[in-house]
Amino acid sequence: MEAGPAEKVTDEEALRLAREVADRLMESAGGAAEKADLADGAPGIALALRYAAEVFDEDRYFKAGQLHLRRTAEMSAAAPLQAPGLYLGTAGVVWAVTEYARLEPRYLPTLATMTDQLARQTRAISLNPAPGSVASHDYDVIGGAAGWLAALRKAADVLGGRATDVTREAADRLVDYLVELTRDDGGPLRWFCAPSHFPTILGPDGEPTPLPGYVKQFPDGVYNLGFAHGPPGILAALCRPDTAHAAGTADQEARSHRVRQGVRELARTLEALRIDSLDYPAWANLLLPHPDSGRPDTGAEQVPARSAWCYGPPGVAASLLPASAACGEPEPTDLAVATLQGLERTPAEQQRINSPTLCHGLAGLVTVYGRAAAQTGLPDLRRMHDAFLSRMCSYADPDHPYLFPDYDPWGGHEHSPGLLTGAAGVMLALLGAVSGTAAEWDELLFLTPRPARGHQSGGTGAETGPDRGMGEK
């Protein structure tokens, strides 16, 4: 468990820990090597090793990552990925291959083929934005349209002229769907999840049936407020500059206008759904529908969500941070900054920060605050980033197989090499904390490209150029 407050971590110490994790991932990735998902399988480990190779300027990490990509391809060929999700399906593999194609042009033909397949896979899925017809996994970051869109846009950026019309059409369709979900017609919000659209398991008769826990807790449906499964992910996906500010044909410009309006409305909705009774910005995990209107019942008693990327203020702030640039209003980014600064006033029992990992732990906070400090230049956010980095590093224990375990709220732990809840995510946070080049990996969490290099602060001599062509022989 955490050893307690620590002194500011030097770049050298952060790099030492990152290298140790990278070496351990090279020696053994355990069962993760047999999974084809980005969240905790081979693609996520490949992504982490790719950035280790770039920062440490060592081809052995790049080659090890290539082996994980090759294993992913073999697994996908034997058992094709049926879902397009970013963290759980095809889009995640596309994301990892895109990152390798940025450095190794020989991946471009493979990337073009996979991106076209992802586009066709998403186009085959029916997406209905009507109120009462939406499930969180239809639109969310983890498995839904927000993640699909981010992967398609990222791949198209790297492919350039190799991107197909099918890819562009699929991305435009996803943009239109997500924009529709931002509309407020005065009744239930469009991203409301009715009981008929709850996650399912197979029942005794072999047919899908809603998870019993959901039905018991949310008999009338639920509004999800987390970045991972709620509207903050929609907001972040729509805030990409190539989505909010696309120019060219009249259709593109009209779509960009709708995107900017959708960003504006959804940012205002998130602000309206914060917990009013606190002197710092906070949100609940979930809100129930009001029994009369069906809209989020903000008057009911609310418990603040934990302080994490997946749920809670840091994740909501991550979605609001780029929204001002996307919609032309200062309020969203102002709220993001106030939210991030407000974490210092949040009682520890509400923060519930008890793990070094990415999804719900300190690596996520290091990444969120690093991005925010780079974008705003605010010393307070840089100071908080450094404090979270020190806390994260204090969890390092050489007796654990991957150096950083994932802890649950009761002190139990698991040893995972994966990205979202394992050591690969911690390693990426360490690398991003000391290298401006490596910090670009965080697009995976925010779904929007980082600010231009000239607008970032920090950086060390550990950086290497992004055009090194690693692995090309």
Q: Residue ranges for the binding site for Zn(2+)?
A: 310, 359-360
What DSSP string runs through 420-437?
SSSHHHHHHHHHHHH-TT
Residues 6+ apart with CB under 8 A from 434: 11, 14, 15, 55, 460, 462
In the block, tokens 């294993």 appear at 71
CA–CA separation, 418 vs 424, rounded Å? 5
Q: Which of 262, 13, 253, 232 is nearest to 142 (CA)?
A: 232
Angle between helices 379-393 and 331-342 (to 10 degrees): 40
Residues 6+ apart with CB under 8 A from 436: 453, 456, 458, 459, 463
Angle of CA points 431, 443, 422, to nearest 5°: 55
CA–CA separation, 82 vs 159, rounded Å? 24
Residues 6+ apart with CB under 8 A from 292: none
Could you say which DSSP state residue 280 is in? S
